Amino acid sequence: MWPLQYKDFKSGCMPVAFRVEGPSLVKARRYPDRILFESRFMSRHYFGTDGIRGHVGLAPITPDFILKLAHCVGRVLKRTEHRPTVLIGKDTRISGYMLESALESGFNSAGVDVILLGPLPTPGVAYLTRAQRASLGVVISASHNAFHDNGIKFFSSKGSKLGDDWELAVEQLLGEPPLWVDSVDLGKTKRLNDAAGRYIEFCKSTFDGDLTLKGLKIVVDAAHGAAYQIAPAVFHELGAQVHTLGCTPNGMNINQDVGATHPQALIAMVKENAADFGVALDGDADRLQFVDREGRLFNGDELLYLMTCERVAKGEQLGGVVGTLMTNKAVENAIVQMGLKFIRAKVGDRYVLEALEQHHWVLGGEGSGHLLALDKHSTGDGLISALQVLQTCLRAKKDPGELLKDVNLFPQVLLNVPYKGPEAWRASDALKALMELHEKQLGQDGRILIRPSGTEPLVRVMVEATHLDNAQRIAQALAQAI
C-alpha cells in the first residue's frame, strides 16, 4: 500500500498518464462524446501502467523483492534464449544504486548477463537495447515522481514496451520458489562506458541535416534527472547557445520544483535570459514541456499538433494521428481539418503505441508531453520530441504561437483526489448520479473523464468545457463526491 502523503485537490490543466490495476476484468462505462468514466482492472498485482513503482523501502520497492523480480524476469527470458543479456539504466535517485545492485544479482542468479549503462534517459535505454541486440532493457526510475519513489520498467529487444502477457508470465513466477543456476552458469556483469555518447549521437541523427540551431538561445531543464548531462550536450552540439536548469542532481532533488512537472522555473529563466525557447524534461526524460520566448507554455497536445503540421507541410502521408481520452477537443478538430484521421486511445503511452502500430501510423501522444514519432524512435522521447518541434518552427520560420493561432483549446481542469483504495468511489451511486447530471448540463460542449492513477494513490478528475468557470465548478463537485 502506498503511503498517503499527497495534499487534497491539486488542480491544473495538464493531463497525465494513469491506469489502475486490480484483480478483475476490464469494465468500461461511456457517455458518447461527453462523459467518459472508465475503470480498468487486470489480474496483475505488481505491474501498473508503466512497470512497477512505489515508495522506496515499502513493498514492492525493496531490495529483496527487486532481486526476486529480476530472477523471475531472467527465467522468463531463458524460456526462449539460452544466454540472455539485459541492459540496466537508471535516473539520478539515490535509491538507484541499491536497486541496480539488486537487479544485477537477481539476473546473474538466473544465468543472465548484465550490462550497466549508468544514468541514462528511459528512451536512451530503449535505443541501446535495440542497438546492442540485447534481450531486454531495464530502467530504474519513477519518472516524474519525487526522489523517495522509484520503480522498474522494461523494454523488449526492439526497444518497445512489453505486453500484458509478458508481465503476467513474470508475476506468475513471483509466486514460485527461485531456481538458482549452478555457479558455472551464473551471469556476468560489465559496464558500457560510452552509453551517454552513443545516445547523444542517436538524438542528433533525428534532426534534419540541413538545419542547425546556430543563433538560437535555448534553456534546457533536465529536472535534475537522467538527462542532466545528455540534454545540454544534444542542443549544444547542434549549434544552440544553451543555458541549463535542473542539471545538478544530488540524488534527492529530482523533479523538485523543476522539470516538465514544474515548468514555472523554466518560464522564468527563459524570460530572464531572453532565450528563444525553453525545453523541460521530466526525471527520466521521456516527456516534454516547451516554452517560447514570450514565456508561453505549450502542452503535449499542442506539440503533437505542431509535429503533425510539419509532416503535412512536407507532403508526408501520415494517414492519421493518435491521441488519448484526455486530448483536447480543439486539437482533434484541427488535425481532422488537415484531412487526417484522429483516434483516441486509452490514457497511457503504451496504448498510444498500440494504436499507432495497429493502424501503421507514426505520430501520437498525450497532453502530459509523452510524444511518439515512430519513424524516429520506438518509444516516447522528450529530447527527440523537442528537436521535432524546433524543426517545425525552423522550417516554417514561425514561433509555436503563430502556428497554433487558430487552435483555441477548450478549457480543461484536472483535479488529483487522494484515495485509500480503488473500490469505494467507483461503487458510489451518488457520484454516478452527479456525473449524469453534469453530462446533461454540458451537452455536446464538454467532456468528463474520471480515472484512477496507475502510478500514484490518486483519482484523476478531468472536466473539459467551453468556459473555464463551468469546468472548475463541475470538477470540484465531482472531486468532493469522491
Q: Which residues are catalytic?
A: 143
Which residues, in sequence order, are bridge partners of residue 413?
A: 463
Name which of 139, 170, 158, 182 is nearest 76 in CA terms.
170
